[in-house]
A and B are shown apart, each in its own frame.
Chain A
């Protein structure tokens, strides 16, 4: 069906807007599979990066430089015995991880990886994302309650209290960004994710730099709140190992536990993409106006290919540094193969039609990756907040700051 393909390639709207159920389905599959793979990659990266923060090597055994570790982990988790505590409420125990997983994956329906690269564009996009991601609280509470044990229950109460209270600061920060979208002649803003990015394009600035430092502070509030929202260090109280063993998922193991992890990492990527969409210009490349023009477009469009070539080069350097022992033959070959695949992808990304098509996706993912790296960095750097301190930060610091930023943004919007 070549016309089908060409029609797709020429369309510049999302499949949802075009009303094409077929392409929407394809996109859903691609996005969900992509997120799952991204979670696995993130898992590997986190272990590696954290290890290097801590002068360790991290996984090195499974595959060259532990590259196959996520797969090994997945196999281990899938084949583990599925333990359900005898006193647990079986149905709720079964349902809880699914709710968390669904809540975090459903948000990707509106994440705009590019102008045409989103499953659909809802006109309440950001509201939808916040709403659906807030549903994961239910999963947490249910998991804690269904386990019928003290530590999970305490962990669940803690984490739901935390998630609910940080949602407020998060929402207010989001509102101030949404307010900025209305700064156009017609005076109408938008809640649509794609619309927000287009507003930044039209206003020729990312919202993080809008009304400096207001946009920046709003992003800061959001960036802190989103760490708390996803229960990550330094706000990882619900999972405070030294206090509550593992929080709400203490009683979970094997596949169900891995669903929690999958949901958690997917939620991390989801909130990061909210931050990127709202403040960092979504899929827009850096300096679209300052460095405008055909030649700059060309230069920036080379980045994805160059990145993959660079990764391939790193892989080949790794091949060179592999111990020259027959024992490492397969590993070396594997790493070389991996490098070759990366290089091939890099070369493919230089082909002009592909280049134009994937550019926006690349920039979006690159910006999200920065936030994902920040998550790891926080985890390596910060001790854990105490519960009352966490609440204090949420209610007494972030909430007033977010409110103030919102007010000032409104005032600035009227004045300028």
Chain B
């Protein structure tokens, strides 16, 4: 399936993603921030589809938007947001942080422009139809050990989260 109107969709989704990103870091209300982040995540999922990564896009929607963000919303509702909304939103060093981040961004762009020639021009043919299968082959073959470590990480995270969040153990 050939993507239609690639250019249009790229700019649309990229615009939405950046807009969401900006809203995440500027909103006073944490719930609004979370919603903006969901917008970013969903438009990134769209971009992943355009990058011939449908499986990652599906995982992105199911895990990020449907799972992690629900967790975020839960926690935001548990901690009172009325109080924190009235407080100062940015810390005292915000100017330094902003400048440092912008410098970092400039560095990135500079590197990209200078190092553009290093990218191979020819794209590897990614079969969309076999995408899931290819990922599975890598996951259970080449990256099996990493995969197991990731599962261990998740287990540790589950236990850690329970220990942290429980009132009385």
Direct contact between A and B judged by beta carbons closer than 8 A: yes
Q: Is the CB of A123 within 8 A of B131?
A: yes
- Main SS class of interface, A: helix
Instruction: Give the contacts of A70-90 with B (CB-CB under 8 A).
Output: 89
Task: Give per-residue flags for A104-124: 1 if the beta carbon is below 8 A from chain B beta carbons, else 0.
Answer: 000000000000000010111
Question: Do A131 and B77 touch (CB < 8 A)?
Answer: no
User: Nearest Cβ distance between residue A106 and chain B, in whole angstroms?
Assistant: 10
Q: Confirm or deny: A160 has a beta carbon within 8 angstroms of a beta carbon on chain B.
A: yes
Tell me the B22-74 residues at the A interface (CB within 8 Å): 29, 31-32, 35, 38, 54-55, 57-59, 61-62, 65-67, 69-70, 73-74
What is the distance, in angstroms, from B131's C-beta to the closest C-beta of chain A?
7
State whether A137 touches B131 (Cβ < 8 A). Answer: no
With A16-B1, A89-B31 known as contacts, the answer to whether A157 contacts B74 (CB < 8 A) is yes
Stretch among A30-38, A138-146, A274-282, A284-292 lining the B interface: A138-146
B-facing residues in A117-135 (Cβ within 8 Å): 120, 122-124, 127-128, 130-132, 134-135
- Alpha-carbon separation in the docked complex, A92 to B76 (Å): 14
Q: Is the CB of A138 within 8 A of B31?
A: no
How far apart are the CA atoms of A323 and B109 in the complex, in Å? 81
B70 and A124 form a contact (CB under 8 A): no
Task: Please give, as numbers and ranges, the residues of chain A lying within 8 Å of B65 by CB-CB distance.
Answer: 131, 134-135, 138
Chain B residues whose CB sits within 8 angstroms of the CB of A191 once the complex forms: 132
Q: Are A19 and B70 in contact (CB under 8 A)?
A: no
A32: shortest Cβ distance to chain B, in Å?
Answer: 20
Residues on B with beta carbons closer than 8 Å to the beta carbon of A130: 62
A95 within 8 Å of B (CB atoms): yes
Q: What chain B residues lie within 8 Å of A132 (beta carbons)?
A: 61
B31 touches A122 (CB 8 A): no
Q: Which residues of B contact A142 (CB under 8 A)?
A: 31, 35, 73
A164 to B65, CA, bound (A): 12
A131-B66, A141-B70, A153-B77 known; A124 and B54 CB under 8 Å? Answer: yes
Please report the C-alpha to C-alpha distance between residue A160 and residue B62 in the assembled complex, in whole angstroms.
14
Is the beta-carbon distance between A127 and B67 smaller than 8 angstroms?
no
The size bracket of the interface on A is 20 to 34
How far is B137's CA from A189's CA once the two chains are assembled, in angstroms?
13
Q: Confirm or deny: A188 has a beta carbon within 8 angstroms of a beta carbon on chain B.
A: yes
Closest A-chain residue to B64, C-beta based?
Answer: A131
Which residue from A17, A131, A141 sits with its C-beta under 8 Å from B74?
A: A141
Question: How far does the alpha carbon of A326 sit from the alpha carbon of B73 in the complex, in Å?
Answer: 60
Is A21 in the interface zone, CB < 8 Å from B?
yes
Query: Once the chains are docked, how many angstroms separate the CA of A141 from the CA of B65?
Result: 13
What B residues does A138 contact at CB under 8 A?
A: 38, 65-66, 69-70, 73
Q: Are A145 and B62 in contact (CB under 8 A)?
A: no
- Would you call B4 an interface residue if the criterion is a C-beta within 8 Å of the partner chain's C-beta atoms? yes
Taking the nearest CB of chain A, how far is it from the CB of B168, in angstroms? 17
* B89 on the A face (CB < 8 A): no
Point out the residues of chain A lying under 8 angstroms from B131, CB to CB: 123-124
How many Å from the CB of B3 to the closest CB on chain A?
Answer: 10
Q: Taking the complex as formed, is B129 at the interface, i.e. its CB lies under 8 A from any CB of chain A?
A: yes
A138-B73, A141-B74, A145-B73 given; A127·B31 CB < 8 A: no
CB contacts (< 8 Å) of A123 on chain B: these are: 54, 128-129, 131-132
A134 x B67 contact (CB < 8 A) = yes
Distance between Cα atoms of A166 and B133 in the complex (Å): 26
Whether a CB of chain A sits under 8 angstroms from the CB of B2 is yes
User: Contact at A124–B35, with CB atoms within 8 Å?
Assistant: no
Give the nearest-CB partner of B45 in chain A.
Answer: A131
The reply to whether B62 and A188 form a contact with Cβ atoms under 8 Å apart is no
The distance from the CB of A199 to the nearest CB of chain B, in whole angstroms, is 14
Query: Which of these, B1, B31, B54, B132, contacts A92 with CB under 8 Å?
Result: B31
Q: Determine the distance from Cα of A404 to Cα of B73 in the docked complex, in whole angstroms.
A: 32
Contact of A160 among B61, B70, B133 (CB under 8 A): B70
Give, as a whole number of angstroms, the nearest-CB distance from B122 to chain A: 24
In angstroms, Cα B71 to Cα A160, docked, is 10
Which residues of chain A in 4-49 are interfacial with respect to chain B, using CB atoms and an 8 Å cutoff? 16-17, 19, 21
- List the A side residues contacting B1 at CB < 8 Å: 16-17, 19, 120
Top 9 closest A-B pairs, CB basis? A134-B66, A131-B61, A127-B58, A131-B62, A124-B58, A124-B54, A141-B73, A137-B70, A131-B58
29 contacts between A and B (CB under 8 A): A19-B2, A92-B32, A92-B35, A95-B35, A120-B1, A123-B131, A124-B54, A124-B57, A130-B62, A131-B61, A131-B62, A132-B61, A134-B65, A135-B65, A137-B70, A138-B66, A138-B69, A138-B70, A138-B73, A141-B70, A141-B73, A141-B77, A142-B31, A142-B35, A153-B77, A157-B77, A164-B67, A188-B133, A191-B132
Chain B residues within CB distance 8 Å of chain A = 1-2, 4, 29, 31-32, 35, 38, 54-55, 57-59, 61-62, 65-67, 69-70, 73-74, 77, 128-133
A sample of 6 more A-B contacts (CB under 8 A), given A124-B55, A131-B65, A131-B66, is: A89-B29, A92-B35, A123-B129, A132-B61, A137-B66, A145-B77
